[in-house]
Structures are given as structure tokens and as C-alpha cells.
Amino acid sequence: MQNLLEIPWQDLPEDTFYRLVEEFVTRDGTDYGEHEVSSETKVNQVIQGIKCKEYVIVFNQEEGSAHICPGPFRG
């Protein structure tokens, strides 16, 4: 776990932050829930979740990649 760093969402450029959230939302493909939820709604829900620390942005130094994970981060 020492290769993981939590990145405050405020430190990311706005467009990078949005694209990271968008990639996270669309990663799983089709939503088979009872009600159809638009991608834009899902993106907004995840953004709010990140701002409320329900999710955190973590950078994997070994891979050189960022991920969104359930919060809070205990690295």
C-alpha cells in the first residue's frame, strides 16, 4: 500500500477531474438497475461522493495511474 497516494480532488485541473470521474462511471458498461440513470447523473453523483469523502482519488505510483476508490483512504 505504500505506493498509493491520496490526491485531493481540488489539486486536479477541472477537466482532468471530470474525465477521471467520467472514466470511472463508464468503466462498468451498461447499468442493469431498475431505473435508467444517465451518465451525466452518475458523474454528478460520483463528484458529490468525492467531495463528501465517500470516494477518494488515489494515485498508484508503481502503475503511474489514478483511480477512484471507496473512501476514506487509509494509506
Q: Is the pLDDT of residue 24 over 60?
A: yes
The CATH code of domain 4-70 reads 1.10.10.610
pLDDT at residue 35, as a whole number: 77
**Which tens digit of pLDDT belongs to each residue from 38-54?**
889 999 999 999 999 99
Residue 37: per-residue pLDDT: 83
Q: Domain locations in the chain?
A: 4-70
d(CA 52, CA 72): 10
pLDDT of residue 30: 58
Mean pLDDT for all residues in the chain: 89
Residue 1, pLDDT above cutoff 60? no
